[in-house]
Structure 1
């Protein structure tokens, strides 16, 4: 259930992809420059000759050996630093955030350029022939390019130290996750509903159930492909899973009426992409959960970092508040001819609100500053939304939060302060009704 395009996209986001490309590029450049040196061997370069620094076969071997050996050592050190950062981020902010480091283009480029310089030096080194060999050959152009690469690598090392120190900061981590949340919000809940969107229809119980042919997390659903397939077959499809759902082999993922052939079932399975882990590409719940987890972990007694929690909740507002202002989501889809073809699955905004505030209420009551930040998040969502059901969901969560915090073991002053914020937020939301 994984298309070739999906495999390419998944490989592009993996940690090894960019370093592998740079390594292949280094091999090609090395061989090309060595061939150019052979072509120009013995040719007078005229006024351009001063650009080449010629040190002979022995000197070239020493230079390339020093560059290759040092770059391999620097690459190993960089790997060690990255692994240390991954361990720190995993234990402090949550293991799901490790994916952000693995997919970081800066880290991939740094490790790739160090490894590429080593491969380049090794390939050029093997082409050198000294006076004791059958024919003397020194690729002066390739050796000089290796020196330039070494200079570039020094600058890349300085960049890497700065980048890795910056990437571990809470503000950088939360901003990156917030960017993913904003992107998936715009993709799944657009400001303007698509022309093919319409009210959802539920298929009858007699509809053919389509089971999954594999197990894993749903990381994406190709809705356009489903509409095209349903149109060609004259069918109507209702999806029972969405990005983020976990399915077991044989479990129902969709229902279909009309032409419910094996070919149609195969196309439905092909449009549902499964993976071993969740990603925020189409999974808005996962993006919300990442920021919620940062806030919850910061509220734990072992961490006790209310400022990190407040920062995570503030970033969460940048995704949740615009989401609450979007038009009501229509889960039905028509084809180009206006015929109903697909019922999609999406989490509702009240569902997302419940996930956030249920976690805050369960794990954050011992941290009044973080609870106040959560109340501020609720107020911003409730006063900005244009939908009554979202407003009611926020008020319900504020009422539950007030009841839970007031009945806890917090200091009376903290109880009064938090309850005052909750009452003010509730009043502000009610005034917008």
Structure 2
């Protein structure tokens, strides 16, 4: 579960700017100390990169750099907020986090803030002759401030290009798909873990109830397996990432332990709850983000079936490899070979229901999007190795076929029926 916490910390919007700000302050203190040590190093002053400007000139340069960087940072932040508002209204509020944890945005704002703090720290070190103490101008630190200002101009150009690219549908959908690919790799790996085994969940057992409310954002299965081994018991999970629980809801059941209170506390500690869903272990949330992009694009206010077409193709890129894999075994054995943990996984059939249920409702009158949905069904059905997955795909194709009777333009409806017939033939042949 340390990986989950590390991923959440890495995606925090404030982390990179804070680290760069601390680095800027530290660099200022170090260079000022170096300037004090070398005294009047670089006194020749004819170089283009290292020159002396005196007390007044140093203050003017640092004040100009610091003030301009703060203004640019405020402008960049305003642009980011504007993009967030646009993304929220166009693609859905759940996609805002993709902009908040964007490394490029974090780095840009962090650089501007770090340059401001660096200039401020160096400015306070300048001492004039009329002040108490000896006159001191940190020439090396001032030259580095000028260099940082030049770098920040390049960063500003990069930011404008980056923010323009990040709002594009293809970029956003590819980013969401990468998160879906990651959760597929971790939760549904091609090779089963060595300790995995078939596990019919036993009935009964002592209930472990939640002590707080929220969404299940992650489950530390390795930690639960260790706890089950130490307590010589079997833990059967009853929730999975993405589930919403309230205080008193059942999280798991325990079998074969007398120390129920201690083990229950350990189970609650390894089942992490949060205020919002995240895609780190919650595959349904990752799928819903792309589905929401498709659905919102088909709303009358947007009317952009090509965005829906793109989102459905991205879904195919992640779900088809998942359809080629066998359903995961849910049991986990301990070192002694005894069944110690039964986990939960969302079946692919439920994901198929989520996607095609929404598509059938909102895309039925959009042939461009509907064609992409039928192609997605065809790819899933051909790739499926589990009979229930193939049956679910064929069932949704049948529902779409029947729903086409309600379409006003029967020319497009007839074309879609032909696509469905071809998809059925391809699935049957596979």
In structure 2, the partner of 1:54 is: 52
Deviation string 1:81-133 (CA, Å, 9 cap, x unpaired) is 00000000110011111000000000000000000100000010011011211
In structure 2, the partner of 1:305 is: 304
In structure 2, the partner of 1:296 is: 295
SS in 1 for 2:251: strand
8 Å contact kept, 1:238–1:343:
yes
The Cα shift of 1:235 comes to 0.7
In structure 2, the partner of 1:239 is: 237
In structure 1, the partner of 2:183 is: 184
Number of corresponding residues = 428
Which sections of structure 1, spanning at least 5 residues, go unmatched? none
Query: Measured at CA, do residues 336 and 380 of structure 1 come closer, stay the same or move farther in structure 2, by a change above 3 Å?
Result: same
8 Å contact kept, 1:193–1:327:
no
Of residues 67, 76, 79, the one that matches 2:77 is 79
- Measure the CA separation in 1 of the matches of 2:170 and 2:76: 23
- Measure the CA separation in 1 of the matches of 2:337 and 2:28: 57
- Measure the CA separation in 2 of the matches of 1:286 and 1:5: 19
SS in 1 for 2:189: coil
In structure 1, the partner of 2:399 is: 400
Q: TM-score, normalised by structure 1?
A: 0.96
In structure 2, the partner of 1:271 is: 270
Deviation string 1:350-370 (CA, Å, 9 cap, x unpaired) is 111111001111121121210
The Cα shift of 1:193 comes to 1.1
The Cα shift of 1:203 comes to 2.5
8 Å contact kept, 2:216–2:273:
yes
4+ aligned runs moved over 3 Å, structure 1: 3-9, 42-51
In structure 2, the partner of 1:362 is: 361
In structure 2, the partner of 1:171 is: 170
8 Å contact kept, 2:217–2:282:
yes
Give the alignment's Cα RMSD to 1 decimal.
1.7
- Measure the CA separation in 1 of the matches of 2:37 and 2:281: 53
Of residues 30, 36, 39, the one that matches 2:37 is 39
Of residues 127, 139, 150, the one that matches 1:129 is 127
- Measure the CA separation in 1 of the matches of 2:354 and 2:103: 31
- Measure the CA separation in 2 of the matches of 1:48 and 1:271: 64
In structure 2, the partner of 1:412 is: 410
Matching of residue 228 in structure 1 with residue 226 in structure 2: yes
Query: Measured at CA, do residues 350 and 429 of structure 1 come closer, stay the same or move farther in structure 2, by a change above 3 Å?
Result: same
Deviation string 1:400-427 (CA, Å, 9 cap, x unpaired) is 1111122x13211011111111111111
- Measure the CA separation in 2 of the matches of 1:50 and 1:393: 71
8 Å contact kept, 1:127–1:139:
yes
The Cα shift of 1:43 comes to 5.3
The Cα shift of 1:12 comes to 2.4
- Measure the CA separation in 2 of the matches of 1:292 and 1:52: 56
Which sections of structure 2, spanning at least 5 residues, go unmatched? none
SS in 1 for 2:346: coil
- Measure the CA separation in 2 of the matches of 1:45 and 1:245: 67
- Measure the CA separation in 1 of the matches of 2:408 and 2:297: 18
Query: Measured at CA, do residues 225 and 4 of structure 1 come closer, stay the same or move farther in structure 2, by a change above 3 Å?
Result: closer
8 Å contact kept, 1:300–1:364:
no
